[in-house]
Amino acid sequence: MLKPTQCVHIGAVHDTVTHGANSPIFTSTATGYLDGGGIVYPRYFNTPNQRAVVEKMAALEHGEDGVIFGSGMAAISTTLFALLKSGDHAVFQSDLYGGTFRLVHTDLERFGIDFTLVDGTIAGDIERAVKPNTRMIYIETPSNPLLRIVDIREVAALARSKGILTVIDNTFASPINQNPIDLGIDIVIHSGTKYLGGHSDLCCGTLVSSKELTARVRASATHFGGTLDPHTCYLLERSLKTLALRVSKQNENAMEVARYLAGHPTVKAVYYPGLENDPGHAVARRQMSGFGGMVAFEIRGDRAASERFQRGLSLIKPAVSLGGVESMICSPARTSHSRLSERDRASIGIRDELLRLSVGIEAPQDLMADMEQAFGSV
């Protein structure tokens, strides 16, 4: 079964009352237990609406099982604390989503977990950072916000040779463009708030892995309580039905927009793995079926010039988050990575003039015309 078909059909709950096309919403938090089947309870991540999303995501990511969370950070934090303990060491890619970066720096050491941050694009750096007590390698590709590409197969092979678990944040790619489990990764995480939800109105996260690893994470998740309510699960399942169509269009639009920006005199740098001169292009071609809907670029000028450009836009919305059907733009230094120190931002290449563009499903000609008139204010 191909992905567009999986998006529509996998995981759907049969409506035994009206035989409707959509999964019913199961709102009850009190369910019977005497007739077998165990206890069904939202905090146990086993309600019909939760399982519907998990089955769809497991099929799309080619995994065995999964967990649906109340946010992407709930998925990330639960995974880390479920699989790492005091005395363990983990290797993290240095250019991570700002929330993950802060979690690593703020909370891991408090629980006695050691870590090293390295350039994830260089497998040798990861290998040199491995210690006898290393239990996890965590990567993000394409990375947020600079869309750096990590060779997933290379990292997975390194980790397997040393008996180390691997975790990837696959949010920017989505399961339509990239399937890390096929390349040897153990655990795949998504901020479902982005492409999976796709309409800028849901907050959720997902994990997909083997049955054994999923069970370990779920056991801790029931204690941490980062569950997702049935209405949001229903809306997420509905949104996933169009995921393949949305991402395909966003791939096409982002390529056109990236080429436009690369040739614009007001732009000094463009970061998009679909461009042939991008440092990660060759690896991205090997491990991705599409290059995604995210484009980052730097304007010739300072922070004020970047703000003038954003204020000059009329169609593209300056806003946080990404992955929606509408195009959005933001300054990572002021949004996703604002809580990092200026020094930490500089160390991973996030400058004040950097802008992150989430390309939607609009006509690309309209998006480029909007940016062209906004460049006049710079």
- Among all residues, which ones are annotated catalytic? 43, 97, 169, 194
Distances (CA, A) of 233 to 38, 47, 59, 296, 298: 21, 10, 17, 31, 37
Eight-class DSSP state of 180? G
Distances (CA, A) of 137 to 78, 104, 128: 16, 13, 12
Query: Which token pair is 47?
Result: 């309600």
Strand 205-209 with 267-271, pairing? unpaired
- Cβ neighbours for 260, distance < 8 A, ≥ 6 positions apart: 368, 371
Q: How far is CA 60 from the centre of its chain?
A: 14
Contact 148, 120 (CB under 8 A): yes
Contact 148, 121 (CB under 8 A): yes
User: What residues does 293 pair with on adjacent strands?
Assistant: none
Angle between helices 243-262 and 364-375 in degrees, nearest 10 = 40
Per residue in 275-288, is it b (16+ CB within 10 Å) or e — as a string? Answer: beebebbebbeebb
- For residues 155 and 145, what is the distance between their CA atoms, to the nearest angstrom? 21
- Name the region of 11 (left: φ>0; alpha: ψ -120 to 50; beta: rest): left
User: What residues does 357 pair with on adjacent strands?
Assistant: 295, 329
Contact 189, 205 (CB under 8 A): yes
